[in-house]
């Protein structure tokens, strides 16, 4: 049984029925609270993992953004030194880094959504646990009083009425999905017709950026010459 299934089962449990069937009701109620506390710890662990994965994805995104900026700087340098071939290669590397940045951005956004859902589910579970503790204490008190005064039947009816209110407040189910982090990877496959056209388009992008760099270099040189004049 998965973690969420176990949590859902605990939240749906009819404490009144369990008390009626148990040989030792007080011990049973304490065990139910203990089980819920254990499940809460596991949910907290899942929340921590989801948040850590989110931070890792954001860090990877920032790293590739830095790489893209560095390759563009190198392209500028190559053009300045008259090495167009090196500039083209640097621009290609920058475009590749841009694709990785895009992928990590999408994954980081999805992971943030997952982490937010987990935090919300954790808050609901904490609230349900608090309510269950209170009602278990109430049921234990009712059971002890019934045993002392010899009115077990009447006490069970009172417990049943109180428990119906408890179950009514615990009908909302905790719903969350397991936080998963997906690392961006490049899948190598035979080049298709679409890939060949995409390569041509990338070459156009490279040439366009190269021309823009050259144009900026010429503008700076022209400005410098005009200043000397």
Domain span holding position 19? 3-171
Q: Is the dihedral of CA 77, 83, 84, 86 positive or negative?
A: negative
Band (186; pLDDT cuts 50, 70, 90):
very low
- Give per-residue pLDDT as tens, 80-137: 999 999 999 999 999 999 999 999 999 999 999 988 888 887 887 788 778 777 777 7
Confidence (pLDDT) at 149: 67
Longest pairwise C-alpha distance within the chain: 112
pLDDT above 50: residue 185: no
Q: Are 128 and 122 in contact (CB under 8 A)?
A: no
Confidence (pLDDT) at 179: 40
Q: Please report whether residue 177 resides in a domain.
A: no
- Give per-residue pLDDT as tens, 22-43: 667 677 777 878 888 888 888 8
Q: Please report whether residue 63 resides in a domain.
A: yes
Q: Please report whether residue 140 resides in a domain.
A: yes
Claim to verify: residue 98 and residue 205 sit in the same structural domain: no
Q: Is the pTM of this model over 0.85?
A: no
Q: Please report whether residue 72 resides in a domain.
A: yes
Q: Please report whether residue 186 resides in a domain.
A: no
- Give per-residue pLDDT as tens, 134-154: 777 777 777 677 766 665 455
Claim to verify: residue 117 and residue 207 sit in the same structural domain: no
- Give per-residue pLDDT as tens, 41-86: 888 898 899 999 999 999 999 999 999 999 999 999 999 999 999 9
Given 3-state DSSP classes, what are the helix, strand and coil percentages for the chain, each rounded to the nearest 5?
Answer: 85, 0, 15
Claim to verify: residue 207 and residue 130 sit in the same structural domain: no
More confident of the two residues 193 and 2:
193
Claim to verify: residue 198 and residue 165 sit in the same structural domain: no
Claim to verify: residue 15 and residue 122 sit in the same structural domain: yes
Confidence (pLDDT) at 60: 95
Nearest of 60, 25, 68 to residue 160 by alpha carbon: 25
Q: 13 by DSSP, 3-state: which?
A: coil
Claim to verify: residue 137 and residue 42 sit in the same structural domain: yes
Q: Please report whether residue 181 resides in a domain.
A: no
Distances (CA, A) of 149 to 140, 142, 160: 14, 11, 18
The H helix count followed by the E strand count for the chain is: 6, 0
> How many domains in the chain?
2
Distances (CA, A) of 218 to 44, 79, 90, 177: 59, 11, 20, 56
Claim to verify: residue 54 and residue 104 sit in the same structural domain: yes
Q: Please report whether residue 182 resides in a domain.
A: no
Claim to verify: residue 219 and residue 155 sit in the same structural domain: no
Claim to verify: residue 78 and residue 14 sit in the same structural domain: yes
Quick one: how far is CA 30 from the chain centroid? 33
- CA angle, residues 185, 190, 191, in degrees to nearest 5: 100
pLDDT above 80: residue 156: no
Claim to verify: residue 166 and residue 201 sit in the same structural domain: no
Q: Please report whether residue 167 resides in a domain.
A: yes
Claim to verify: residue 159 and residue 203 sit in the same structural domain: no
Claim to verify: residue 166 and residue 197 sit in the same structural domain: no
Residue 130: both structure tokens together: 């608090």
Concatenate the DSSP letters of all residues of 123-182 into one string.
Answer: HHHHHHHHHHHHHHHHHHHHHHHHHHHT-HHHHHHHHHHHHHHHHHHT-SPP--PPP---
């Amino acid at each position: 049984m998965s973690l969420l299934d176990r949590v859902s089962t605990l939240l749906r449990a009819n404490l009144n029925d369990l008390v009626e069937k148990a040989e030792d009701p007080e011990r049973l109620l304490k065990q139910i609270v203990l089980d819920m506390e254990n499940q809460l710890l596991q949910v907290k662990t899942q929340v921590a993992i989801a948040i850590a994965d989110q931070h890792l994805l954001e860090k990877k995104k920032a790293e590739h953004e830095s790489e893209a900026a560095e390759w563009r700087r190198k392209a500028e340098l190559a053009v300045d030194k008259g090495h167009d071939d090196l500039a083209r290669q640097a621009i290609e590397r920058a475009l590749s880094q841009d694709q990785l940045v895009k992928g990590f951005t999408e994954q980081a956004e999805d992971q943030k959504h997952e982490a937010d859902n987990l935090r919300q589910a954790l808050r609901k579970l904490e609230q349900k646990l608090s309510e269950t503790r209170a009602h278990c204490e109430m049921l234990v008190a009712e059971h002890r009083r019934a045993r002392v005064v010899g009115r077990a039947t009447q006490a069970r009816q009172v417990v049943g009425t109180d428990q119906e209110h408890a179950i009514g407040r615990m009908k909302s189910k905790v719903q969350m999905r397991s936080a998963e982090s997906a690392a961006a990877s490049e899948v190598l496959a035979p080049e298709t017709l679409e890939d060949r056209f995409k390569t041509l388009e990338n070459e156009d992008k490279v040439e366009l950026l190269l021309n823009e760099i050259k144009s900026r270099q010429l503008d700076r040189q022209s400005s410098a010459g005009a200043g000397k004049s």
